[in-house]
């Protein structure tokens, strides 16, 4: 896969979960990878684990919902690399369902800031860097981008719907510039974000996952990462504005 060799890639939320698997895949193929996360401590824990990120990697601490932080990230990329070939917007947070009529402004603002505003601000900067030379962007959405959920909050569901909207709008606007923008929508994935469900115990976890998809299993982050790399690559030059769902048949079952 030498098409990734020496290319410059950005992965937000790349110090844990799905983002870390995507960063790991890009590094293995020889890309220069800029990982963005909110906390150095999270990245340090990853690097001290049994599966550290190795290769041409740099970490930038930033909150993608903050304009100044995003500006600093892209200023650093311009200074060090002078270009951006690939971008994956994986940063996001999750909160569990509460009754819609009891859902507070503080919770709403936190989820929308991280999961929508952050994606918008990063995409805006990514598109500006790619506009002359083309590139490929993949956004991480969710199966709840096309349905409601009894486990996720109103803000989370609304945010993931919005990610698909941003993906499609940018795909239409920038296709003539040689920039492709797609989305991947995973079902429940075995990462730290699933820990609250796992903590409920094996029986309840199995019951919930079995109700969601025919295989009664979690999606693994490695499968999501493989699909993201497929979409980033030149093998998918005619795929633009698309959503690929990775959910073991969950949405087909609905």
Domain that holds residue 160: 2-189+221-253
Confidence band, pLDDT 50/70/90 cuts, at residue 218: confident
pLDDT given for residue 189 in this prediction: 60
pLDDT given for residue 202 in this prediction: 41
- Could you give the count of Cα atoms lying within 13 Å of 243 in the half-sphere of its Cβ? 23
* Active-site residue identified among 86, 103, 156, 174: 156
Confidence band, pLDDT 50/70/90 cuts, at residue 175: very high
pLDDT given for residue 187 in this prediction: 80
Whether 201 maps to a domain, the answer reads no
pLDDT, averaged across the chain? 88
Whether 77 maps to a domain, the answer reads yes
The closest alpha carbon to 138, from 86, 192, 194, belongs to 86
Tally of CB atoms within 10 A around 42: 17
- 12 vs 96 pLDDT, higher one: 12
Give the position of tokens 């690399």: 81
Whether 110 maps to a domain, the answer reads yes
Average pLDDT over residues 72-85: 97
Local structure of 34: helix, strand or coil: strand
CATH code: domain of residue 67? 3.40.50.720
Whether 180 maps to a domain, the answer reads yes
Confidence band, pLDDT 50/70/90 cuts, at residue 203: very low
Average pLDDT over residues 201-211: 51
Average pLDDT over residues 90-99: 85
Q: How many domains does the chain have?
A: 1
Residue 205 has pLDDT above 90, yes or no: no
Residue 119 has pLDDT above 60, yes or no: yes
Whether 205 maps to a domain, the answer reads no
Q: Exposed, middle or buried: residue 1 (CB in 10 Å: 0-12, 13-18, 19+)?
A: middle
Q: Write the DSSP symbol of residue 48.
A: T
Q: Which pair of structure tokens corresponds to residue 143?
A: 């199966």
Whether 249 maps to a domain, the answer reads yes
Q: Is 86 a catalytic residue?
A: no
Stated pTM of the model = 0.89
DSSP-derived secondary structure for 164-194: HHHHHHHHHHHGGGTEEEEEEEE-SBSSGGG
Whether 199 maps to a domain, the answer reads no
Whether 160 maps to a domain, the answer reads yes
pLDDT given for residue 196 in this prediction: 54
Percentage with pLDDT > 70 across the chain: 85
């Amino acid at each position: 896969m030498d098409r990734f060799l020496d290319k410059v890639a950005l992965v937000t939320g790349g110090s844990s979960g799905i983002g870390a698997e995507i960063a790991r895949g890009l590094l293995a193929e020889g890309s220069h990878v800029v990982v963005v996360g909110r906390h150095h401590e999270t990245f340090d824990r990853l690097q001290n684990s049994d599966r550290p990120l190795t290769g041409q990697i740099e970490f930038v601490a930033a909150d993608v919902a903050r304009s100044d932080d995003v500006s600093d990230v892209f200023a650093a990329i311009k200074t060090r690399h002078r270009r951006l070939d690939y971008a994956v917007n994986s940063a996001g947070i999750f909160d569990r369902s509460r009754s819609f009529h009891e859902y507070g402004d503080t919770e709403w603002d936190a989820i929308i800031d991280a999961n929508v505003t952050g994606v918008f601000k990063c995409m805006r900067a990514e598109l500006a860097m790619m506009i002359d030379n083309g590139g490929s962007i993949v956004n991480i959405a969710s199966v709840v981008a096309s349905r409601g959920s009894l486990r996720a909050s109103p803000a989370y569901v609304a945010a993931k719907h919005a990610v698909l909207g941003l993906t499609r709008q940018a795909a239409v606007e920038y296709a003539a510039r040689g920039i492709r923008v797609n989305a991947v929508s995973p079902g429940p994935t075995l990462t730290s974000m699933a820990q609250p469900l796992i903590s409920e115990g094996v029986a309840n976890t199995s019951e919930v996952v079995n109700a969601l998809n025919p295989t009664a299993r979690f999606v693994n982050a490695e499968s999501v990462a493989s699909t993201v790399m497929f979409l980033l690559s030149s093998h998918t030059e005619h795929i633009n504005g698309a959503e690929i769902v990775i959910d073991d048949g969950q949405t087909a079952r609905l």
